[in-house]
Structure formats: C-alpha cells, structure tokens
C-alpha cells in the first residue's frame, strides 16, 4: 500500500501537511460506512508520521506522542482528563476568541489553523463541533463569505441542511443558509478604524440597510444607515449604501459629497467612480460626468457602463457623431444590449434628418446619408437617394455596395446582385473590402436559391478570412436550405465557436430539428429564446422538441406561449398530442374539438379526434371521425386509409374492400392499399382477380419499396391457380427474404404436383428437422415417405402421392409496411 497515495500527497517531512491531508481524507471516509478504508487511512497516516520523523532535520516538528496517536486511533471523542476542557467546549471557546478579534475574524488563515488542530479531527468530535458551531454562528453571523465557505466545506452544513432543522428553528437555518448562496457580498476589508467600536452592531446596521434598499424601503434604510454611520462613517460599503440612498431620494448633490469621500480613500475603485459619474450625470454636469466615465473606462477597458455613460454624455453635449461611434462599439461588443441598439437607431434617425435638410451634396455627404438611412431601416429612401445621385456621377464601389444592401433589404434581389457585382469589379485592389461585398452577394444569391454560386462567393471570402463567422454561417445556411444538414452542422458549429449570435443557434437548431435530433435542437432554441423572447417560432420549435423527447409538461408550456404570441392555432393539435401522451385523453379531446369548432373544414382535427377514440377503444366512433375527415378532404390519402383500417379491424371486409379499391385508384403508388386488397381477394378465393392485383402492385410500386410479402401472396395465388412452376419462383424468392416458414408448405406442394417428389421430400424433412411441431407438414412428410417404400420400387411402378388438402383459409401474415401510429401529430 502506498501511504502517500492513500493520503493524496507527495512524500514530505512536513508534519503539518500530513495532518492536513489526513484531515481531508477523514472527511471523505466515515468509519461506520467504510471501516476498511478508514483503517487503511489511519495506518497510512501513522506510517507517514514515522517516515516524516526520519526525513526531518534535527530541528523539525516532533512527531505525535504515543498518547496522541492512541487518541487518533479511536473514533470516539477524547475523554476529558480531570481539569482539562472537552474538545467541543475548547473549540467553541477558541471560536469565540477568534470572532471577538475583528482582524483575526476576517482572516481565513486563522480559521484554517483552528480546523487543522488534530484534537478536533475524530469523526464524532467533528460532528458535535459542527452542530455547536452552527448554533454559535446563528447568533454571530457576520463573517466574510470566504470564511463561511471554508467552514461549510469542513462541516458540510449545506449538504445536511435538513438535519439542522432538528436542532434549530427552520426559518433561522434557511435564512443563514442564504449567506452561502447569495450572489452579493458586503465588504469586510475596511472595517478596522482608528478607534475600536461595536463591529457586530455596525455590520448588523449595514446589512439591514442593504436589504432595505433591495426592497426600496427608504425609511427603514435611512434608520439603519444612521446607526451604521454613527459607528463608522468611512467604511466603503457604508458610503456606497448612503450614496445609493441619496440617489434613490433624487438627491444627487448629497450623493456626490459622500462619493467624493469614498474616492479620497479609494480613488481607483471602479464602483465608486461609476456611482460618482452617474451622480454627476443626474446633476446635469455632463463634462465632469464624461471625464469620470473615461476614467472608469481606463480602469475597466470595454466596460459597458463606462461606454454607455460616455455615449449618453456625448449625445447630451450635442456631439452626435462621437456618440454614434460609441453606440456602434457598444452594439458590437454587447449585441444583447438592446438599449444601446435602440439609442443608436434613434440617433441615426436624428442624424439622417439633419443631414437630409443640409445643403451638402458632395459624394461623401451622399454616402453618409445613405448609411444613416440604412442604419435606421429607411432602405427605400437610401435606394432613391443613391439612384438619384447616380444620374449626376458614376457611383464608386462604396455607393454600389450601399445600393446593393438597400435593394437586398427591399427584396429586389436581382438588382441587388447586379450592384454588388459592379462593386466586386471595382475592388480588385482592395481584397478586404471585396470580401465584405462577396459575403453580401453570397447572401443575396442564397435568397435567389442559387446556392452553388453563393458558396463560390463565400469560399472566396473564407480564403481571405478563414475565421469569419458570418461567412461560415451563410455557407452553412446555403447547405441547410438544400437539405444537407450534416454538412451544414460542421460549418455552423465552427461559426458558433467563433461567435455566439442567436441566429447561428437558430440555424443549427433547425438542422438538428430536421435530423430529428431533438435534444440538441432544444438547447439551441432555448438560447434563441434567451436572446429574444419575442421570437415566436423558437417557442413553437422548443415546444415540439420537448414533445418529442417526452417532456410533455414543458411542451404544453412552450406551445401555450407560442400561441399567446400569435403562432397559428394548429398548435392546439400539438397540445392535444401532449395531453394524450401524458395520459390526459379528455383534455386532448377538448383541444381537438375546440380546433374543429374554429376550423370546421380542417380534416386533421377529425383525424386526431379519431385517434383519441381509437386509443380509448371506441372503433365505431373512430371510424366516423375518419370518414368525416375523408369527406372534408376527398383527395387526401391519410383519412381514407384510416377509415379503411378501421373497417378491417371491425371485420367489415366488404365495405373495406370498396375503400381499398378507391385508394388504389386515387393513390396507385401507395402499397398498403394494394396489399390489403390482395389479402381480401385471397380470403374470398378470387384467384384470378388476386393475380391481376399482384401484377398491378408490381407495376405501380417501385421495386425498392415493395413489401417482400408480395412474393408469398403471389406464390400462394399461383399455387391455387395450379401455375406451379411460376409459384415455385415466387415461393423460393420468399424463402430467401425471410419467409421460409410461411412458404415451405406451398413450395413442397408445388414440387409434388410437378412430380419432383425427391425435392419435396427433402424440403419437408429439412423443415420438420427445424420445427417438428407442425402437424400438417408432418402429415405431408409421411405421405411423401410412403411413396419411397421399397416394394413399389421392386415392381417398377411409380406411385402417385395423395397429399392432404391444403387449408382453405390459411392465416397468411399481414403486410408489415405502413404501420399505423397511435396519434397523428402536426
């Protein structure tokens, strides 16, 4: 046994490291649950201490005494010697001392040192300490989250929360447990002041103020903040909460005074700088606020708060073009920032109106105005502006590109492609700009469904920019639209590795959806919804994925949301399916009937109602529903096929035959009706008509789609028509495709009818050897054996064999193709 591996550390002479490793392993292995592993850990620990003693230098830490080792060998808590404190009492006393010293209280290393004391390691001792310490912390809860998590990792309170309810009030336990999971944390690093004060009172007031502000209870917050400020009015979190209180009361000037005090102590604190900038902005001090936001940006490069503040200040100061640039940066960096996008749209609109009213008519002015029109969704005005400008001067590549964009958004794809092609020719010497034009032309060609040409454009882009996610996405989209889903997935996966745009997820989700890989599709649709809850199609598709993976509750929730957002009412039928599959047939029938009432001429609701009747064991009602559907859509295959199926199940063969004839006539390429009609003709012993039906089936149904059972049916019919040679061909073929057992009797009879007794007898013997429990075949075999009796051979007289009569109505197997689903969803 490798003692160091057992302890989970490298060989060391540091006794403290060994003790810590042993303590960790003890937490992982309870002696009652796994006594053997516990014993090995103990042995490894004792041996490691001995080896450490040998490796150590003369002044190294001494090993444990024999008494200490004996104590550690026992899982029972150490008994207190006369005059000596019990371990639990000692631990709590040391906790009280540690808690009382604020500098030590907030230091995780101090608590770790206490936990490392081997006196408190035995399992029973540790469990008792954990319970007692939890009670202590309920009354003294003000510790940094790092310390709380350290203690929880040792005593496992969060994992055993329910056990604590036995010893303490449930509400108090639950409230304390929130300290481990809350996303916020108040600071503990600036609590010490020049003069000592009541730290717990301060921390209690500060926490009360925090919660009051969360609830916007300003009266309660004011009282708590006054109490905290009387004790320590320079603590950063206290200053932050006071400033926040003033801002909530619309007193930015008072907030500024508090924040300036904070910035004196911590000039590089980003939150202090942000709040100071916000307060200046609220006070209308735009230049000062702008300076603060720029300072914040230097502290936190790319900060959304800093950029948003800079853009807002620039806009208020009338520096619209500077504001526009910042909003554009925000939109690129944070595509989920809808506020920045809306502000950019409004700003672009304002700039476009101002520029349109100006007298500037130079090309650069035209281009700027055209860009603004495009950015604000005014594509028609953009196109008109550029077409008018074209009358006075030949457009350059930039203007052709803009015009191609505008025409594309107006769905004038052919004109757009022409303009973009001109731009491509004008940019021979600028490959990067040319790539942008090619990328757009690829998109236009996708819209024109000229997918190969689109991919040629996008390949040229990717040669220049192999990691361009937009080009990869559009390439993948062109493949998806052609139904090449697996190839599309490779491109879309690559695009998503580079950028996580919602429409990339939507396209990939559509690929998975089409491939019926519903769990993967669902993840993408949920991401799309997370980006924009207004995308109705994503709600519907997510619901459909939930339905197909069997999560009916979520399917109903998402279908209902899609319907609420305007998705077509056909979603009611999918909701009916979700209810049906979750076992609520009544709710399913209610929805199907509701849909039928709204759309009385829609046959699918009748089909679904019929499915529900069929599943509930009401075949007659199901038949009527299917017939209603067939009357509404006389040319549709599904309702007529379902009606025929129900007639067959009800043994109403004459009516079923009529339905099957109509199906064969109207849908000659559907094999199920052909085969059922052949089967009924066989049962009626109408051999010539059955033979004609076989011929019609083989003529109308493609060979790859033919059900192998037609070989058995054909062989049996020909046997009945005494066409034995042809019957043998069909029956032998049936044997080769897995219907040997069903074909053998008739094949033997055909051989015998043609006088090929030896072949018939051999086949009968072979069949009986495989399955002796076939009485009719056994009788045929005995008849064939009697023919081979020696005395008939002696006289040289051939003996004709009289085989037993074939069964008049044999139970031929049903066609396997076109199985009927239990529910016809949308």
The more confident residue out of 51 and 566 is: 566
Residue 390: band (very low, low, confident or very high) from pLDDT cuts 50, 70, 90: confident
The set of long-range contacts for 33-42, using a CB threshold of 8 Å and a minimum separation of 24, is 38/75, 40/1, 40/6, 41/6, 41/7, 42/72, 42/73
The span from the first CA to the last CA of the chain, in angstroms, equals 64
Is 293 exposed, middle or buried, given 0-12, 13-18 or 19+ CB atoms closer than 10 A? Answer: buried
Task: Please state which of the ranges 38-47, 97-106, 300-309, 541-550 shows the lowest mean pLDDT.
Answer: 38-47
Looking at residue 449, its pLDDT comes to: 94
3-state secondary structure of 75: coil
**Pick from 303, 302, 300, 330: which is nearest to 315 by CA?**
330
Give Cα separations from 573 to 83, 560, 611, 656 (angstroms).
80, 12, 12, 28
Q: How many other C-beta atoms can be found within 10 angstroms of the C-beta atom of residue 81?
A: 8
Please tell me whether residue 365 adopts helix, strand or coil conformation. Answer: helix
The more confident residue out of 592 and 517 is 517
What's residue 124's pLDDT? 75
Longest CA–CA span in the chain (Å) reads 136
d(CA 475, CA 495): 10
Shortest CA distance to 541 belongs to which of 530, 552, 529, 553?
529
CB 156 within 8 A of CB 130: yes
DSSP H or E segment with residue 506:
helix 502-514
Does 82 have pLDDT greater than 70? no
Residue 777 and residue 750 in contact, taking contact as beta carbons nearer than 8 Å:
no
**How large is the average pLDDT for residues 490-498?**
95
589: which residues sit within 8 A by CB, 6+ positions away? 576, 609, 612
- Give the whole-angstrom CA distance, residue 696 versus residue 688: 12
Please report the pLDDT score of residue 789 as a whole number. 59
What are the tokens at 567?
Answer: 């998705």
What single DSSP character describes residue 703? G
Pair of tokens at residue 361: 């008519």
**251 phi, psi to nearest 5 deg:** -125, 65
Rounded distance between C-alpha atoms, residue 694 and residue 447, angstroms: 47
What value does the mean pLDDT take over residues 318-333?
92
pLDDT at 740 over 90: yes
Residue 6, SS3 per DSSP: helix
Residue 262 to residue 267: CA distance in whole angstroms: 8
Do residues 801 and 584 lie in contact, with contact meaning Cβ atoms separated by under 8 Å?
A: no
- The pLDDT, as a whole number, for residue 97 is 93
Alpha carbon distance 693, 706 (integer Å)? 14
Contact 660, 677 (CB under 8 A): yes
Listed in sequence order, the DSSP H helices in 116-186 are 123-139, 145-155, 161-164, 170-181
Residue 472 has pLDDT above 90, yes or no: yes
CA-only gyration radius of the chain, Å? 42
DSSP string, 429-456: T-HHHHHHHHHHHHHHHHHTT-HHHHHH
DSSP string, 254-298: HHHHHHHHHHHH-TT-HHHHHHHHHHHHHTT-HHHHHHHHHHHHH
Given this model, what pLDDT does residue 797 score?
A: 52
Among 511, 517, 508, which Cα is nearest to 484's?
Answer: 511
Q: What is 374-414 written as a DSSP string?
A: HHTT-HHHHHHHHHHHHTTS---HHHHHHHHHHHHHTT-HH
Alpha-carbon span 450 to 405, nearest angstrom? 18
Q: Judge whether 695 and 687 are in contact, CB under 8 Å.
A: no
465 neighbors 498 (Cβ within 8 angstroms): no
pLDDT of residue 306: 95
Dihedral of CA 595/596/600/602: which sign? Answer: positive
- Quickly list DSSP for 561-580: HHHHTT--TTHHHHHHHHHH
Determine the 3-state secondary structure of 462 from DSSP: helix
In this prediction the pTM is 0.59
Q: How many CB atoms lie within 10 A of CB 476?
A: 27
Asked whether the beta carbons of 477 and 491 are under 8 A apart, the reply is: no
pLDDT digits (tens, 9 = 90+) for 806-821: 888 888 888 876 777 8
Among the residue ranges 19-33, 149-163, 658-672, 708-722, the one predicted with the least confidence is: 19-33
Mean pLDDT across the chain, nearest whole number? 88
Looking at residue 375, its pLDDT comes to 86
- The pLDDT tens digits of the residues spanning 772-781 come to 888 989 999 8
% of the chain residues with pLDDT over 90: 60
Inform me whether the pLDDT recorded for 200 exceeds 50. Answer: yes
Q: Where are the alpha helices (DSSP H) in 650-739?
A: 653-666, 671-683, 687-700, 709-720, 724-736
- Contacts of range 709-714, beta carbons closer than 8 Å, 24 or more positions apart: 709/675, 709/739, 709/813, 709/815, 709/816, 710/675, 710/678, 711/737, 711/739, 711/743, 712/739, 712/742, 712/743, 712/812, 712/813, 713/675, 713/678, 713/679, 713/682, 713/812
Is 794's pLDDT higher than 80?
A: no
Which helix (H) or strand (E) segment holds residue 795: the answer is: none
For 211-239, the pLDDT digits (tens) are 999 999 999 999 999 999 999 989 999 99
């Amino acid at each position: 046994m490798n003692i160091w591996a057992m302890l989970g550390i490298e060989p060391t002479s540091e006794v403290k490291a060994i003790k810590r490793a042993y303590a960790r392993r003890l937490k992982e292995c309870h002696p009652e649950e796994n006594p053997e592993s516990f014993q090995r850990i103990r042995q490894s620990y004792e041996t490691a201490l001995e080896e450490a003693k040998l490796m150590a230098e003369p002044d190294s830490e001494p090993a444990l005494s024999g008494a200490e080792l004996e104590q550690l060998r026992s899982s029972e808590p150490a008994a207190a010697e006369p005059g000596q404190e019990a371990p639990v009492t000692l631990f709590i006393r040391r906790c009280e001392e540690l808690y009382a010293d604020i500098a030590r209280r907030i230091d995780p290393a101090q608590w770790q040192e206490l936990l490392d004391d081997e006196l408190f390691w035995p399992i029973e001792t540790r469990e008792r300490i954990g319970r007692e310490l939890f009670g202590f912390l309920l009354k003294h809860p003000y510790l940094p989250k790092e310390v709380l998590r350290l203690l929880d990792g040792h005593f496992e309170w969060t994992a055993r929360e329910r056990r604590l309810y036995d010893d303490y009030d449930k509400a108090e336990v639950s409230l304390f447990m929130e300290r481990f999971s809350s996303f916020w944390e108040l600071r503990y690093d600036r609590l010490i002041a020049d003069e000592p004060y009541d730290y717990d009172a301060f921390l209690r007031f500060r926490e009360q103020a925090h919660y009051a502000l969360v609830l916007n209870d300003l009266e309660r917050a004011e009282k708590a903040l006054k109490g905290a400020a009387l004790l320590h009015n320079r603590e950063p979190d206290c200053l932050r909460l006071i400033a926040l209180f003033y801002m909530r009361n619309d007193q930015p000037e008072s907030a500024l005074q508090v924040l300036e005090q904070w910035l004196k102590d911590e000039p590089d604190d980003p939150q202090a700088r942000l709040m100071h900038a916000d307060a200046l902005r609220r006070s209308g001090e735009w230049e000062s606020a702008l300076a603060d936001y720029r300072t914040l940006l230097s502290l936190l490069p790319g900060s959304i708060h800093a950029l948003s503040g800079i853009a807002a200040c620039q806009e208020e100061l009338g520096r619209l073009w500077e504001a526009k640039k910042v909003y554009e940066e925000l939109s690129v960096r944070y595509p989920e920032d809808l506020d920045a996008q809306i502000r950019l749209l409004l700003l672009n609109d304002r700039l476009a109106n101002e520029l349109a009213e100006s007298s500037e008519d130079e090309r650069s002015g035209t281009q700027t105005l055209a860009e603004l029109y495009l950015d604000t969704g005014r594509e028609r005005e953009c196109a008109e502006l550029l077409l008018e400008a074209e009358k006075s001067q030949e457009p350059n590549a930039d203007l052709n590109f803009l015009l191609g964009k505008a025409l594309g958004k107006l769905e004038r794809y052919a004109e757009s492609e022409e303009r973009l092609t001109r731009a491509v020719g004008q940019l021979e010497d600028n490959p990067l700009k040319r790539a942008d034009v090619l990328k757009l032309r690829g998109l236009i060609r996708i819209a024109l469904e000229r997918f190969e040409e689109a991919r040629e454009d996008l390949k040229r882009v990717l040669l220049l920019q192999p990691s361009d996610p937009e080009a990869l996405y559009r390439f993948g989209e062109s493949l998806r639209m052609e139904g090449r889903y697996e190839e599309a997935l490779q491109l879309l996966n690559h695009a998503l590795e580079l950028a996580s745009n919602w429409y990339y997820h939507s396209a990939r989700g559509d690929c998975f959806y089409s491939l019926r890989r519903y769990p993967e599709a669902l993840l993408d649709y949920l991401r799309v919804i997370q980006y924009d809850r207004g995308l109705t199609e994503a709600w519907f598709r997510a619901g459909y994925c939930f339905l197909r993976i069997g999560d009916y509750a979520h399917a109903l929730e998402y279908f209902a949301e899609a319907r609420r957002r305007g998705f077509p009412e056909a979603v009611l039928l999918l909701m009916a399916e979700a209810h049906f599959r979750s076992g609520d047939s009544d709710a399913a029938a209610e929805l199907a009937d509701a849909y039928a009432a709204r759309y009385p001429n829609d046959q699918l609701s009748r089909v679904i109602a019929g499915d529900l009747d069929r599943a509930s064991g009401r075949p007659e009602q199901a038949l009527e529903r299917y017939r209603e559907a067939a009357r509404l859509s006389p040319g549709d295959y599904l309702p007529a096929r379902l009606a025929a199926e129900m007639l067959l199940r009800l043994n109403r063969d004459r009516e079923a035959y009529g339905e099957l004839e109509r199906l064969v006539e109207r849908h000659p390429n559907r094999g199920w009706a052909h085969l059922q009609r052949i089967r009924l003709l066989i049962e009626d012993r109408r051999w010539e008509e059955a033979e004609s039906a076989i011929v019609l089936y083989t003529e109308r149904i493609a060979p790859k789609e033919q059900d192998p059972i037609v070989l058995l049916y054909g062989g049996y019919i020909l046997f009945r028509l005494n066409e034995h040679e042809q019957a043998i061909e069909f029956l032998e073929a049936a044997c080769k495709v897995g219907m040997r057992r069903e074909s053998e009797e008739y094949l033997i009879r055909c051989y015998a009818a043609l006088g090929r007794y030896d072949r018939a007898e051999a086949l009968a013997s072979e069949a009986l050897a495989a399955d002796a429990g076939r009485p009719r075949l056994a009788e045929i075999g005995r008849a064939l054996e009697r023919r081979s009796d020696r005395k008939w051979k002696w006289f040289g007289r051939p003996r004709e064999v009289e085989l037993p009569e074939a069964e008049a109505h044999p139970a031929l197997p049903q066609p396997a193709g076109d199985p009927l689903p239990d529910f016809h969803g949308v």
